[in-house]
Structures are given as C-alpha cells and as structure tokens.
Amino acid sequence: MSPSETANPAANNAHEFSVSEISFALKRTVEETFGHVRVRGEITGYRGPHSSGHCYFGLKDDKARMDAVIWKGNFGKLRFKPEEGMEVIATGKLTTYPGSSKYQIVIEHLEPAGVGALMALLEERRKKLAAEGLFAAERKRPLPFLPEVIGVVTSPTGAVIRDILHRLQDRFPRHVVVWPVRVQGETSAGEVAAAIRGFNAMEKGGRIPRPDLLIVARGGGSIEDLWSFNEEIVVRAAAESAIPLISAVGHETDTTLIDFASDRRAPTPTAAAEMAVPVRAELIADVRDKGTRLMRCETRVIEGYRTQLRGLARGLPKLQDLIALPRQRFDTASDRLARALTRAAEVKRARLSRVEGRLSERPIRLRITNERKALPQLLERLTRAERRRVADLARSLDGCAKLLESYSYHGVLKRGYAVVRDEAGKPIRAAAGQAAGARLEIEFADDRLDAVVAPGGTVTPRKAPPKKTEGGQGSLL
C-alpha cells in the first residue's frame, strides 16, 4: 500500500465518473429541475440564422449572460424575429450542451419585453426603411377617381369587410375582389404581403379582373395585435405595389409602418371605402348642375351674338336697295336680247334665201347626166368582179371534190378489194358468226353480187340488180 492511500483511505472508496457521465447527469438534472422557463434579457451576439437555419446568440442582463438557440423549425414560426440589443422575454426549455459544458435555453417563443421595447424596435425599423426611401413622398401614386375593381386584403369573416362593402354600396357600388388573409398571428405578415403581390401579378383582362385600387384593412387592437403590419415584408410589398394602395389598419390613433409606405392612409376601414369612390348621388347632382350652368352659358353667348348681329345689320343697306340697279340693268338687257334675236333670225333667213336662189335646176341636171355616163363603167367592173368570184368558188369546189374522192373507199375497191354487207347493209368484218342461208351482198369496183352462205361456210354468188335511189337514179356509192 502506497503512502498516499494510507493517508486518504476514503479516496479508495469514491466512485469514478467519466466526463460524459458527469455532463449528461448535469443535463438531466437541469432539464428535470427547470423544464420550461421564461427568461427576460437583452439579445447579444445575434448575427442572423446560421447556414443550417438555426440561430445562436446570447441573453444577458447587467450581471450575467446565458447562451440561447432557436432551432430552424421554430424560427420560421416566430412572430417577432430576434434583433441585436432587443430586450425580450424568451420562453423555452433550459438544458446543457455537453460538448462545451455550457447551459443554454432552447427558445420556442420570443416576444419583446413590454410596449416600450416594441416601440423602440418600431422606431428603429421605421428609420431604417425611411433611409431606404420606402416612405418618400415622390413614391406616392394618386388614387383613381372611380376604380372599376377594388381589391381588399383583410379577414373574410370580420366586421371590416362588411363595413367596407356596405359603405361602397351606399356611395358608389363597385366590383370588389377579396383576398382572405389572417390579420393577426405568426403567419399574418407573410399572407398580407403575398396578397398584395398576388393582386399586382394579375393580368389585365384575365379570368379574375385586376384591381385598379387596393385596400389593406384591419380593425383596431393593441400594438402586439397590429404588429404584422409593421413587419418589413409587408412594408416592402406595399411600397413595391404598382396598384395604388390605401392602408386602413386599426383606428385613428393606431399607426403602423404600412401607413407610411401606402399611397394613402385611412383612419378606419370605413374611411378607406369613402376615399376609394365618390358619392354617386353627389356626382349626379354635380353633373346636372354643371349641365344647367352650361346651357345657361350657351344661351347667354347666343343672345350676345344675336344682339351683336342686330347692331351690325342696322348699318347695312337694305336688300331692295342693293338689287334695284342690277335688276333694272337685267330688264334692259332682256329687252335688247329679244330684239337682237329677232334681227339675227331675219339675217339668217335672208342669207338662206340667197343660197337657195343660187341652187338652180340646171346644175342639178348636169350632175345627174355625169353620173349616168359613169354607170356603164361601174356595171362592167361589177361583172368582172362577179366572174372572178365564181371562178374562185369553182376552183375551191374542185379541190374539195378531189379531197373527197381521195378519202372514198372506191379507191380501195379499184385496187382489187371488195366490201361484204349483210341484208341490213352493214359491213361484215369477219366470217365467224355467219349462219348458213344468210344473204350477203359483195360490192366490187365495177359491180355488185348477191350471195348466200351455204352449209359448211361456203358462199354461192348470184347477180344482184343495181340499186336504185328515189327518182330512179342509181347510187353513186
């Protein structure tokens, strides 16, 4: 036995623990003792989510510091995202990390520590977005005077949508398209931003009409209830909207960041409906009043021109005085014209009488005598022309006759051939099919013979009398 063992006998009886045993024993002790806790502190060392999606930072007060972690699955569900220096109340499970012998809180829920912290966060965010120019006045767009379609982003079950529809019905009924969203809760901000961008993504002339004006509306509530409309995702979506947008979140005293990014802010959802459309009855009355004023103005203008015309007319001479002298000239010219026509007719008649006198009977007879002398010559020329025409026709007829003779089968008969016909006079082209006793006619170049088909297919010829045509003349063919 060594001297050290003799000096400390209790050390030989103590249980030996491994590092892992001690670490996990402490882990179980901490988790069983504390479980879920709420810890208030200031966020420190926050650098945003890790590449894995988890968040690691610390919570501190004026005397101590502890590690904190938010797993990826819980981070997306947080209503408030952690920010450096923000005082928060973290709810989660207290545990240890054996790998570094540190204790930490696994945060499941995170909220600012009181209204003061929220207001400080809100002011800091407002300054940040304002520095980016999202609240600049030159970004504001004018609202359409009378939109055809109004898009409303709100809860479909609350009183807000009923108030908006009722107010629009009273003032000027319009086509309303509602995009239902949650206006409170962890997913509210994402839904509102998606609704604004969804309306802007609609195509004009599509199945669902694209709105000409948007209203983002919610009833009143605490700053925590309205916090979704302070989120950056909602503010940026409102600032990027190409469609003019009215924010109507909360009551008159409530202010959210979407109010600064929108084109117009309405103190209440009902006031937003009043901004969206004019009063129909007032428009009709205004149009009627302007129409009446326009008619009165036109009447006054016409009366003024009529008075001015009357004054000018007094300075003009009378119509009778203007046309009196031209009328007298016209009457004088008419009388002179009638006399001139009479004199012209008499002159023409005298000239015609002189021409008629020069046409005596002797010149006419002389002309007839000359034409009679030329008549025999014309007759002789006509006779010669007729003889030439007859000779030309004879030569043409002779050529046709020769052509006809060249095409006739008689030329073939003269070369020693014959034509065989049956009793009907039809040519027979083959011996086959001719029955015994059938009468045939055989035509040669100089004469014709009648024949009878004998048994065995032989032909017995006999003299045939010449054919006669009507009138007793023999056939040329």
CATH number for 28: 2.40.50.140
CA dihedral sign of residues 302, 306, 307, 309? positive
Q: Domain range for residue 83?
A: 16-113
Structural domain includes residue 52 = yes
Same domain, 22 and 45: yes
**What gap in Å lies between CA 81 and CA 458, rounded to an integer?**
132
Assess if residue 121 is contained within a domain. no
Residues 174 and 72 in one domain: no
Are 255 and 267 within 8 A, CB to CB?
no
Last residue of a domain, one of 266, 291, 311: 311
For residue 41, being part of any structural domain is answered with yes
Radius of gyration of the chain from its Cα atoms, rounded to whole angstroms: 64
Q: Answer positive or negative: Cα dihedral of 430, 435, 437, 438.
A: negative
Whether residues 157 and 228 share a domain: the answer is: yes
Instruction: Say yes or no: 173 and 190 in one domain.
Output: yes
For residue 150, being part of any structural domain is answered with: yes
Q: Are residues 164 and 57 in the same domain?
A: no
Q: What predicted TM-score, i.e. pTM, was given to this entire model?
A: 0.49
Whether 204 and 240 map to the same domain: the answer is yes
Whole-number pLDDT of residue 361? 52
In this prediction, residue 114 carries a pLDDT of 66
Do 438 and 452 contact (CB within 8 A), yes or no? yes
297/270 same-domain check: no
- Count: domains in the chain: 4
Identify residue 446 by its one-letter amino acid code. Answer: D
Laid out side by side, the sheet with 419-421 consists of 419-421, 439-443, 448-453, 459-463
**Domain end call among 256, 278, 300:** 278
Task: Find out whether 390 and 406 touch, Cβ atoms under 8 Å.
Answer: no
Is residue 119 situated within a structural domain?
Answer: no
Q: What is the CATH number of the domain that holds 219?
A: 3.40.50.261
Are 163 and 71 in the same domain?
no
Question: 440 with 459: CB under 8 angstroms?
Answer: yes
pLDDT at 197 (0 to 100): 95
Quote the pLDDT of residue 460: 57
Cβ neighbours around 205 below 10 Å, total: 7
Residues 6+ apart with CB under 8 A from 420: 427, 428, 440, 441, 442, 443
Same domain membership, residue 229 and residue 167? yes
* φ/ψ (deg, to 5) at 323: -100, 0
The closest of 90, 23, 101 to 58, measured between CA atoms, is 90
Tell me which of 278, 299, 328 is where a domain ends: 278
pLDDT at 476: 35
Contact 323, 317 (CB under 8 A): no
Q: What's the pLDDT at 221? A: 82
Residue 252, in any domain of the structure: yes
Verify that 155 and 255 share a domain, yes or no. Answer: yes
Q: Say which amino acid occupies 350.
A: A
Chain center to CA of 445: 92
Q: Which residues contact 3 (CB under 8 A, 6 or more apart)?
A: none
Phi and psi angles of residue 310, each rounded to the nearest 5 degrees, phi first: -65, -40
pLDDT < 50 regions, the chain: 1, 468-477
The beta strands (E) that lie in 382-466 are given as: 419-421, 439-443, 448-453, 459-463
Residue 292: HSE in the Cβ half-sphere, 13 Å Cα cutoff: 5
What burial class does residue 472 get, using C-beta atoms within 10 Å of its C-beta: 0-12 exposed, 13-18 middle, 19+ buried?
exposed
Query: For residue 258, how many other CB atoms are within 10 A of its CB?
Result: 27
Sign of CA dihedral 124, 128, 134, 135: positive
Residues 6+ apart with CB under 8 A from 431: 457
Same domain, 176 and 260: yes
- Residue 28 shares a structural domain with residue 85: yes
Question: Would 164 be classed as within a structural domain?
Answer: yes
Domain membership of residue 393 (yes or no) is no
